[in-house]
């Protein structure tokens, strides 16, 4: 187990909870705490936030 990584579940900004490819059709994503909006797009979704709109979303390979 990797040390002390804490994630919080938040609504995906791309689909606003409806479910899309970026949140695995769940409508929610796990984001590393402290949760904040992506500093590049401020929630508009860009490649740096994996199109979730959040800073440091949990990677599929984490
Ligand atoms: Zn989504
Ligand atoms: Zn972004």
Domain ranges for the chain, please list them.
1-62
Confidence (pLDDT) at 1: 56
Burial of residue 46, with CB atoms counted within 10 A of its CB: 0-12 exposed, 13-18 middle, 19 or more buried: middle
d(CA 60, ligand 1 centre) in Å: 14
Confidence (pLDDT) at 4: 79
Ion ligand 2 — residues with CB < 5 Å = 38, 40-41, 46, 49
pLDDT, mean of each 10-residue run, the chain (62 residues): 83 98 96 96 96 91 58
Confidence (pLDDT) at 59: 79
d(CA 2, ligand 2 centre) in Å: 25
């Amino acid at each position: 187990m990797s040390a002390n990584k804490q994630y919080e579940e938040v609504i995906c900004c791309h689909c606003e909870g409806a479910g899309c490819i970026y949140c695995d059709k769940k409508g929610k994503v796990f984001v590393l705490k402290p949760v904040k909006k992506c500093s590049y797009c401020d929630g508009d979704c860009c490649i740096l936030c994996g199109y979730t709109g959040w800073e440091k979303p949990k990677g599929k390979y984490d």
